């Protein structure tokens, strides 16, 4: 039993190890996000405004308002403020030092900081209102939220996407895609 406790303590001390693929999935799940490069870094933008990028050294840089920067500093001591002159414009932290759940929240906060107000309001409203949807409940809440966030509230809308496009949405996994494909087949529809 003591040996098991030592092994568990060692595993618990390992860094969360979030990957670039997880960051990409979190960013691209948000509305109107485009992936590109900025000064040689992988970068994501919404309507031309960058909100997150990754340095060649593996640091994730997020455009955040002051309150979010303070919260990020408290939660991630290995991170630091990004300054432009005397003004804080964001937060930088090694990608390996952030767990997936925290990364999703940081990416979403950065998106809200840079997205046009009307687009941010639409996403906020989509998360709080009841949507008429024929998506199967068995896909789970994370997959449902991801699909609704991407503007896919019906099976007919889901049919306009490929399996790879659905799997790229954070929260949608192979099981959810299988269930969606089965529900589409029952209605005589298929994934693109």
- How far apart CA 58 and CA 53 sit, in angstroms, is 10
Q: Residue 98: CB partners within 8 Å, gap ≥ 6? A: 16, 18, 60, 76, 106
CATH 3.80.30.20 fits 132-186, yes or no: no
- Show me where the domains of the chain are located: 20-118, 132-186
Selected residue with higher pLDDT from 11 and 44:
44
| CATH architecture for segment(s) 20-118 | Alpha-Beta Complex (3.90)
137 or 11: which carries more pLDDT confidence? Answer: 137
- Burial letters for 158-179: b for 16+ Cβ neighbours within 10 Å, e otherwise? bbebeeebbebbbbbbeebbeb
pLDDT for the residue 144: 85
Q: What is the token pair recorded at 124? A: 């906020």
Q: Where are the beta strands (DSSP E) in 39-147?
A: 41-46, 49-54, 59-63, 80-84, 87-94
pLDDT for 177 equals 94
Q: Report, in this order, helix, strand and coil percent for the chain, each rounded to 5.
A: 50, 20, 30
Sheet holding 49-54, edge to edge: 33-38, 41-46, 49-54, 59-63, 87-94, 80-84
Identical fold at 20-118 and 132-186?
no
Shortest CA distance to 57 belongs to which of 69, 74, 40, 70? 40
The pLDDT tens digits for 16-60 are 457 888 898 889 888 889 999 999 899 999 999 999 999 999 999
Give per-residue pLDDT as tens, 126-180. Answer: 665 455 688 998 998 888 888 887 878 899 999 999 999 999 888 899 999 999 9
Confidence of residue 185 (pLDDT cuts 50, 70, 90): very high
Could you give the CA distance from residue 51 to residue 64 in angstroms, rounded to a whole number? 8
Strands 33-38 and 41-46: antiparallel
Query: pTM higher than 0.85, yes or no?
Result: no
């Amino acid at each position: 039993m003591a040996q098991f406790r030592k092994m568990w303590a060692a595993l618990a001390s390992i860094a969360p190890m979030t990957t670039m693929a997880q960051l990409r999935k979190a960013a691209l799940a948000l509305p109107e996000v485009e992936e590109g490069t900025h000064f040689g870094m992988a970068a994501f933008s919404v309507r031309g405004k960058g909100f997150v990028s990754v340095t060649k050294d593996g640091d994730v840089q997020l455009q955040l308002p002051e309150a979010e920067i303070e919260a990020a500093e408290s939660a991630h001591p290995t991170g630091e403020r990004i300054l432009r002159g005397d003004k804080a414009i964001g937060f930088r932290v090694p990608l390996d030092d952030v767990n997936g759940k925290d990364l999703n929240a940081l990416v979403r906060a950065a998106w809200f900081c840079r997205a046009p107000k009307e687009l941010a309001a639409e996403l906020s409203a989509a998360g709080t209102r009841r949507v008429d949807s024929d998506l199967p409940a068995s896909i789970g809440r994370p997959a449902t939220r991801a699909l609704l966030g991407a503007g896919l509230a019906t099976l007919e809308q889901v049919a306009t996407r490929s399996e790879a496009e659905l799997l790229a949405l954070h929260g949608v996994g192979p099981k959810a895609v299988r269930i969606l494909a089965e529900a589409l087949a029952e209605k005589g529809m298929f994934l693109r």
